[in-house]
Chain A
Amino acid sequence: MPEAPLERASSTRQIVEIVAAVVLLTIFLGASAWRQSDGLSSGTLAGTAEALGIIIAAGLTLIMYSFLYRDNPFFKAVENLYVGVGLGYGAVMTWHQALKPEVVEPIILAPSFGALGSALIVRGVPILLGFMLLTRISRKYSWPSRYSYAIMIGWYAGMGIPITIHTFILEQVNAAINPLFAPGASPLATFLSINTQIIVLVGTVSVLYYFFFSLEHKGAGKVVSRVGIIFLMVSFGASYGYTVMARISLLIGRVDFLLYDWLQRPRP
């Protein structure tokens, strides 16, 4: 089915945006030439390269932020550059971390037949499975790839089950089981301890009940489920705030780069 055409911006808005882009580009180039003049005119290759690197990084950062206004050709170009660099980086990493040390060096560059034999014993089956994955290129003969996928998914699932039981069941249950109070503690400490442990118990049990799918949540079950969702929302709120703080630190890092590396502002 053909897709519906997308709305286009009005011609007046397009003209305003082009003018704004030209002005911003001029300001950016002017600011870069002014603030990075020391590096650009240093006369050394290293100094010039560093200054150019900073200017390019600042430009790419600002273009990425331009998406906050709306999609634009600069963003599209940088997005494609980013995707290309990401893919290229991934390819190089795969070569250096997997193909070269695990396939090329021990098999293609095997120093002796003995070494080749011992390498093939360990790596033969995984390499064969890898080649079977490549059969997906052909639509007609892609069936061997399914064996590779089946083995990998089974492997992952098998590896995952004990880890899941360990991490999400044993550790959690062990941490949640605590005495309600410590004999001999002060009345205030006992009161606080009982309250804390009851909150933990009620929260855990009600959240578990919220994820119970075999019963309709009505009557008393609805109340328990409601309590569970309240606990979930409280924890999500805390998690939200915590993560936003971490993201702000990323923004601070970029602003720090723009102010002190690109614009060469004196550090306080």
Chain B
Amino acid sequence: MVKNPFRLWAFALVLAYAAIALCGEPPAKPLLPPADSFKAYDRPSDDGTAIGVEWAVVPGNSKNITYVLEVSTTEDFSGEVKEIRIPATGGLKSKQKKFYGSSKKNESLHYKDVLPADLFPPEKRQVEQPEENASAREKAWYSYERKKENRRFKGEKRKFNRDTDCYFRLSATNGTDTVFLEDGGVRKVVSARARANLFTWYRCNNLIPALIFSCVVMGFIRLARRNPNIFIRRIAGLDAGDEALGRATEMGRSIFFVHGLAEIGSLATIAAVNILGQLCKQVALYDSRVKVMNSTPMTMAVSQEVVKQAYTEAGRPDAYDPDDIALVAPDQFTYVAAVGGRMVRERPAAIFMIGSFAAESLILAETGASTGAIQIAGTDAYTQVPFFITTCDYTLIGEELYAASAYLSREPRLLGSLRGQDVGKIVLMAALLLGTAAVTLGTWLVAQNIEFGEFLLRLRDIVKPF
């Protein structure tokens, strides 16, 4: 009779575990892909820094198998050899859509980017740092030498990539057993050299629309030159411009034109400058006065040119005063303080706040509203539009700002651009509706195991940004 059955059960349990440990399945043997699937090549669409290495996925390999990719700069691997380890369940080529697209066959290939100059980096020279109390010339020398060394180092890396063939061998291991990929009884070696590519293929979805829309816009510009009476729908905020101008003339007060903070390169600022030119033509005719508030010297200089041109075209070059176009302040809230102060002191009859605005929009618009001026705002900064809508009399929302300059000037180039943009919007609407339909159908077909569904789903990658 057993005195303590618990001890017996515990002993049996330990025996069972020991039996499983001794007689259980050994770790899975690593399997290798077909030798002809192991390839190395220059990675496309890059600056010559990487080599791509691929081999076929072997379905039998479990997660405890690791591929070992050996890299050398000599064909017989006699020199320095680097090892890169890739788990057998990871590193698929299908993850590299940016460089290799979304082809279905990429799902059955392992892939690794190899950066030769990072694996075998050239020697970096140390530049001696000057002492704390060194002269300005010595510090300049150090700065120059350091930059020169950095340039040399980068150049050496580029040269290494350009001039050096890299050789690759593949093996697979489960920790105890290692098998080597062989071809005809000898270890298979593949080689490649990284090259800088002239063309970035993954940006095609950016280039092609740009080219197509450029052609469309140029076509419409030609049409607009032949017939400048292209229809543009009425933009309410712009009709109010005449009202504001009349008010300023009647009251004998000036008009403020506030550009916002962006540089002249900003699309909103370019559109604002166009509107300013058209406004100034009328200001010159009415013998009123416009004061332009700039935050950058570039915007100020361009505004001066545009206003001067407008006064000249209106036949009133004598009325142009360059001091009316001022650089108020370069910093955001300094600009707000200065423009706000001038608004309160000079009490303009009308304020145009057109351009690119940020956190200063509400402060400016509130201050302008407190002066009783008629306010017309326009910006493409969508986070600031709500503030203008609540505080200004009229607001040009987003693209209305770009349309405004065409609407006012009837300039064929602007009219043609606007019509081209409208065509672009039709294309976008169609892409959205058709894209959603295709993706929905594709998802359903994939669920029904119909292969065509995957093709439909891959269509979405056409608009994938990289």
B-contacting residues of A (Cβ < 8 Å)? Answer: 1-4, 6, 64, 67, 70-71, 75-76, 78-79, 82-83, 85-87, 89-90, 101, 105-106, 109-111, 115, 133, 136, 145-146, 149, 152-153, 155-157, 159-162, 164-167, 169-171, 173-174, 176-184, 197, 201, 204-205, 208-209, 211-217, 232, 235-237, 239-240, 243, 247
B463 near A170: Cβ-Cβ < 8 Å: yes
Q: State how many angstroms separate the Cβ of A50 from the closest Cβ of chain B.
A: 24
In the bound assembly, the distance between CA atoms of A232 and B385 in angstroms comes to 10
Partner of B338, one of A83, A166, A181, A183: A83
The 7 closest A-B pairs by CB, nearest first: A156-B265, A86-B334, A183-B447, A86-B331, A240-B386, A170-B465, A177-B435
Closest to A2 in B: B252
Q: State how many angstroms separate the Cβ of B430 from the closest Cβ of chain A.
A: 10
Q: B242 on the interface (CB 8 Å rule)? A: no
CB contacts (< 8 Å) of A75 on chain B: these are: 341
A217 near B233: Cβ-Cβ < 8 Å: yes
CB contacts (< 8 Å) of A180 on chain B: these are: 436, 440
A105 near B140: Cβ-Cβ < 8 Å: yes
CB contacts (< 8 Å) of B465 on chain A: these are: 166-167, 170-171, 174
CB contacts (< 8 Å) of A164 on chain B: these are: 267
Q: State how many angstroms separate the Cβ of A257 from the closest Cβ of chain B.
A: 16
Q: B29 on the interface (CB 8 Å rule)? A: no
A181 near B432: Cβ-Cβ < 8 Å: no
A109 near B298: Cβ-Cβ < 8 Å: no
Q: B175 on the interface (CB 8 Å rule)? A: no
Closest to B347 in A: A6
In the bound assembly, the distance between CA atoms of A216 and B362 in angstroms comes to 32
Closest to A181 in B: B440
In the bound assembly, the distance between CA atoms of A90 and B464 in angstroms comes to 40
In the bound assembly, the distance between CA atoms of A236 and B395 in angstroms comes to 13
Q: B460 on the interface (CB 8 Å rule)? A: yes
B331 near A90: Cβ-Cβ < 8 Å: yes
CB contacts (< 8 Å) of A78 on chain B: these are: 337
Q: State how many angstroms separate the Cβ of B432 from the closest Cβ of chain A.
A: 6
Partner of A152, one of B203, B265, B330, B362: B265
Given A170-B463, A201-B436, A236 contacting B330 (CB threshold 8 A): no
B425 near A208: Cβ-Cβ < 8 Å: yes
Closest to B380 in A: A168
Given A109-B140, A213-B418, A6 contacting B334 (CB threshold 8 A): no
Q: B1 on the interface (CB 8 Å rule)? A: no
CB contacts (< 8 Å) of A183 on chain B: these are: 443-444, 447
CB contacts (< 8 Å) of A87 on chain B: these are: 329-331, 334
CB contacts (< 8 Å) of A157 on chain B: these are: 265, 267, 270
In the bound assembly, the distance between CA atoms of A165 and B211 in angstroms comes to 11
Contact residues, B92-148 vs A (CB, 8 A): 136-137, 140-141, 143-144, 148
In the bound assembly, the distance between CA atoms of A62 and B147 in angstroms comes to 48
In the bound assembly, the distance between CA atoms of A174 and B460 in angstroms comes to 7
Partner of A165, one of B206, B335, B390: B206
A174 near B464: Cβ-Cβ < 8 Å: yes
Stretch at the interface among B7-15, B19-27, B162-170, B398-406: B398-406
CB contacts (< 8 Å) of B439 on chain A: these are: 177-179
Partner of B344, one of A70, A115, A133: A70
CB contacts (< 8 Å) of B210 on chain A: these are: 161-162, 165
Closest to A70 in B: B344
Q: State how many angstroms separate the Cβ of A111 from the closest Cβ of chain B.
A: 4
B302 near A149: Cβ-Cβ < 8 Å: yes
CB contacts (< 8 Å) of A212 on chain B: these are: 422, 425
Q: State how many angstroms separate the Cβ of B441 from the closest Cβ of chain A.
A: 9
B431 near A173: Cβ-Cβ < 8 Å: yes
B422 near A160: Cβ-Cβ < 8 Å: no
Partner of B399, one of A115, A145, A179, A211: A211
In the bound assembly, the distance between CA atoms of A215 and B267 in angstroms comes to 24
B338 near A79: Cβ-Cβ < 8 Å: yes
CB contacts (< 8 Å) of A213 on chain B: these are: 232-233, 235, 403, 407, 418, 422
Q: B47 on the interface (CB 8 Å rule)? A: no
In the bound assembly, the distance between CA atoms of A208 and B398 in angstroms comes to 11
CB contacts (< 8 Å) of B251 on chain A: these are: 4
CB contacts (< 8 Å) of A145 on chain B: these are: 301
CB contacts (< 8 Å) of B6 on chain A: these are: none
B400 near A83: Cβ-Cβ < 8 Å: no
CB contacts (< 8 Å) of B263 on chain A: these are: 156
CB contacts (< 8 Å) of B432 on chain A: these are: 173, 176-177, 201, 204-205
- Residue among B330, B347, B400 with max Cβ neighbours from chain A (10 Å): B330
Instruction: Write out, one digit per residue, whether chain B residues 159-202 have a CB within 8 A of any chain A CB (1) or not (0).
Output: 00000000000000000000000000000000000000000000
B289 near A1: Cβ-Cβ < 8 Å: yes
Given A115-B144, A211-B400, A243-B383, A169 contacting B422 (CB threshold 8 A): no
